[in-house]
Chains A and B, each alone.
Chain A
């Protein structure tokens, strides 16, 4: 439901990350890392992104989403495991004192920019 706002943030961050010497370039792909516990629906995000990226250097760019699993560490017995069901107790000692090591990410990792080498600078956008 809030994917539109997230899509706008991605465009802002990605646009600001284009190096100054490549301002006219087109972003082909945005690499994202999204945790399974982040409240983001990939399909909705792509749908929103396609709409709001029009007329920006990200128009037509692909969102490559790497979904990170929920990995927990038990603070009592130091066990580590991947959580697949919504059960947040230690699989080894049943403790509820967990540290979530991954699974809440909502990160832009990198952007991939197309370089047209036939011209020094492109016109327009």
Chain B
């Protein structure tokens, strides 16, 4: 082509790639690694203050040592949650996302590194406590088998419809702090209705991590998932 001074044109280059393809590949790698070891992995998400850490603490107390569990805790900063969970005797790996740029979620490569610090042969269950946030963690697959969202009756009833992506993505919802219901104007039926509207058929467990009420049904659900995963491995 004859060069013409100042003549500009544009050329369109097709790309057609998922923007988060790198994360998705890494998540698949994590998933294969966990499957080889027969480890069931849950990604626990919620808004800040829903009682996620207390729920996990109480869950661990009830399932260990029968089920061997480890925890990866993501927080923007501090090790407070990890310290609380370590009391249960489960190995706990703390990830402070500010070392990775103040992230509001855990990404697959962070889990890959954190998992290096855990003896995967010695556990049946890996709990990943994600950063408290109902938006961003939904966008990042980390290689988990199931996603669980915790919400509490001290939040708005309409959380599920405000964050439909999160609630659609999850496999179970824990409605926490039900021991406080007598003191609140919270419309539980409406909250449950919203969850069902966004994700029909998703199991909803009404619990109080504080009093222990309702934990049994949630733990049975979790036990069944772990059993299925282990069975799939020994095939």
Measured CB to CB, the residues of A under 8 A from B are 1-2, 4-6, 9-10, 12-14, 17-19, 22, 28-29, 32, 37-40, 86-89, 95-98, 100, 104, 106-120
Nearest CB to that of B23 among chain A residues?
A9
User: In the docked arrangement, what's the CA distance between A14 and B9, Å?
Assistant: 18
Asked if B36 is at the interface of the complex by the 8 Å CB criterion, the answer is no
User: Which residue of B4, B14, B199 contacts A110 across the interface (Cβ within 8 Å)?
Assistant: B14
Chain A binding site: helix, strand, loop or mixed by DSSP? mixed
Given A1-B104, A106-B20, the answer on whether A118 and B200 have CB atoms closer than 8 Å is no
Indicate if B183 sits at the interface (CB-CB under 8 A): no
Shortest C-beta distance, B159 to chain A (Å), equals 11
A79 CB to nearest B CB, Å: 15
Contact of B15 among A1, A14, A114 (CB under 8 A): A14
Cβ–Cβ < 8 Å partners of A107 in chain B: 16-19
Candidates A5, A37, A115, A119; contact of B11 at CB < 8 Å:
A115
Residues on the A chain within 8 Å of B18, using CB? 106-107
Interface SS of B by simple majority = mixed
Question: Distance (Å) between the CB of A15 and the closest chain B CB?
Answer: 11
A111 B12 Cβ-Cβ under 8 A: yes
Q: Is the beta-carbon distance between B19 and A117 smaller than 8 angstroms?
A: no
Apart from the given pairs A87-B198, A89-B200, 7 other A-B contacts in the complex at a CB distance below 8 Å: A17-B17, A37-B164, A38-B165, A86-B198, A109-B14, A114-B8, A117-B4
Contact check: which of A2, A19, A109 meets B136 at CB < 8 Å? A2
CB of B13 within 8 A of CB of A116, answer no
Q: Smallest Cβ distance from B7 to chain A, in angstroms?
A: 5
Q: Are A115 and B17 in contact (CB under 8 A)?
A: no
Contact at B16–A108, with CB atoms within 8 Å?
A: yes
Q: Establish whether residues A110 and B16, one from each chain, have CB atoms under 8 Å apart when the complex forms.
A: yes
**Counting CB contacts under 8 A, is B182 at the interface?**
no
Residue in B3, B22, B198 whose CB lies within 8 Å of A117: B3
User: Hey, what's the 0/1 contact readout for B1-41 against A, CB within 8 Å counting as 1?
Assistant: 10111111111111111111110000000000000000000
Give Cα A97–Cα B200 distance, bound, in whole angstroms.
8
Q: Is the CB of B136 within 8 A of A118?
A: no
Residues of B within 8 A of A29 (CB): 10
| Assembled-state Cα–Cα distance A14/B17 (Å) | 10
* In the complex, B66 has a CB within 8 A of chain A: no
Contacting residues, chain B, for A88 (C-beta < 8 A): 164, 168, 197-200
Q: Does B177 contact A (CB under 8 A)?
A: no
Q: List 11 A-B contacts (CB under 8 A).
A: A2-B104, A13-B15, A86-B161, A95-B200, A98-B200, A113-B11, A113-B13, A114-B9, A116-B8, A118-B4, A118-B5
Which chain B residues lie closer than 8 Å to A97 at the CB level?
Answer: 200-201
B12 touching A112, Cβ below 8 Å:
yes
Bound Cα distance A64, B21 (Å): 20
